[in-house]
């Protein structure tokens, strides 16, 4: 299972989280986010896959930022069309397209289907006006309606106490989790001990 920690910014905190066994680390390059990293990272981690999170950013700007910060994965949270995703994928990036899910509404099957084949992963998050980061969960049972072939990461308000539920979540395309606000002490600062305990439960503890 992929463990991704998103919304990182502080160099010392990045170093601490890098040491505990996460797979991917996300950095938000969207100025509207409270976890916005600015134009570049003070410390670029080497032991994780580096993910840049963007919202409706011009393609050339994404390429410049990705080069400067040595990003390997691009995560898109806006209205980027499939062709936009393909362009970045053809440039050698792993592409993650995020979709907001609302608990009171049906799974957006038709929208998601449009991106099959143009992305490497999907990310299912709680739908918000702020493009994610709400700390709220959606009903995971809605994902039973997803029958696509693209693997996905589960996001949306996952906390340390959800480890057992995450471990028991079952879907053929479930590839990992995206952790953010549920492990923060303040915006962009993660509690590495809580993260470490979560990872231990997910990966090492027996049922």
- Return the structure tokens found at 135: 């700390």
Residue 131 predicted with pLDDT over 70: no
DSSP state of 181: G
Q: Give the pLDDT band (50/70/90) at residue 136.
A: low
pLDDT at 170 over 90: yes
3-state secondary structure (DSSP) of residue 154:
strand
Q: What pLDDT was estimated at residue 29?
A: 97
How large is the average pLDDT for residues 88-115? 94
pLDDT of 133 reads 54
Using the predicted structure, report yes or no on whether residue 134 has a pLDDT greater than 60.
no
83: helix, strand or coil: helix
For the chain, give the percent of residues with pLDDT over 90.
Answer: 85
CB 48 within 8 A of CB 24: yes
* The predicted structure's pLDDT at residue 129: 62
Q: Where are the alpha helices (DSSP H) in the chain?
A: 11-18, 59-69, 82-90, 109-113, 163-168, 192-203
184-186 and 189-190 beta bridge pairing: antiparallel
Nearest to 72 by CA among 49, 54, 53: 49
Give pairs for 107-111: CB < 8 Å, separation 24+.
107/142, 107/143, 107/145, 107/146, 109/145, 109/146
Rounded to the nearest integer, the mean pLDDT of the chain is 93
pLDDT for 80 equals 98
Cα dihedral value 87, 88, 93, 95, nearest 10: -100
Per-residue burial over 114-132, b if 16 or more Cβ lie within 10 Å, else e, is ebeebbbbbbbbbbeeebb
User: Where does the pLDDT of residue 127 fall: very low under 50, low under 70, confident under 90, or very high at 90 and above?
Assistant: confident
| Confidence class for position 203, pLDDT limits 50, 70, 90 | confident
pLDDT, residue 14, reads 98
Residue-wise pLDDT tens digits, 35-85: 999 988 999 999 999 999 999 999 999 999 999 999 999 999 999 999 999
pLDDT at residue 132, as a whole number? 54
- pLDDT confidence band for 156 (50 / 70 / 90): confident
DSSP state of 36: B
For the chain, the 3-state helix, strand and coil shares in percent, each to the nearest 5, are 30, 25, 45
């Amino acid at each position: 299972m992929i463990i991704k920690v998103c919304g990182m910014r502080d160099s010392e905190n990045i170093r601490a989280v890098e040491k505990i066994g996460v797979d991917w680390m996300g950095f938000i390059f969207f100025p509207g986010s409270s976890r916005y990293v600015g134009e570049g990272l003070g410390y670029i981690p080497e032991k994780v896959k580096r993910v840049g999170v963007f919202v409706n950013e011009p393609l050339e700007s994404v390429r410049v930022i990705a080069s400067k910060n040595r990003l390997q994965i691009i995560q898109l949270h806006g209205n980027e069309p499939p062709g936009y995703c393909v362009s970045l994928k053809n440039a050698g990036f792993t592409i993650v397209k995020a979709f907001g899910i609302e608990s009171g509404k049906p799974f957006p099957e038709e929208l998601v289907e449009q991106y099959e084949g143009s992305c490497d992963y999907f990310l299912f998050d709680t739908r918000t006006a702020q493009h994610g980061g709400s700390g709220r969960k959606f009903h995971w049972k809605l994902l039973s309606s997803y029958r696509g072939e693209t693997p996905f990461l589960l996001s949306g308000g996952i906390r340390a106490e959800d480890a057992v539920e995450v471990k028991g979540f079952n879907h053929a395309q479930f590839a990992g989790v995206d952790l953010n606000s549920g492990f923060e002490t303040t915006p962009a600062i993660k509690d590495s001990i809580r993260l470490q305990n979560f990872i231990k439960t997910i990966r090492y503890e027996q049922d």
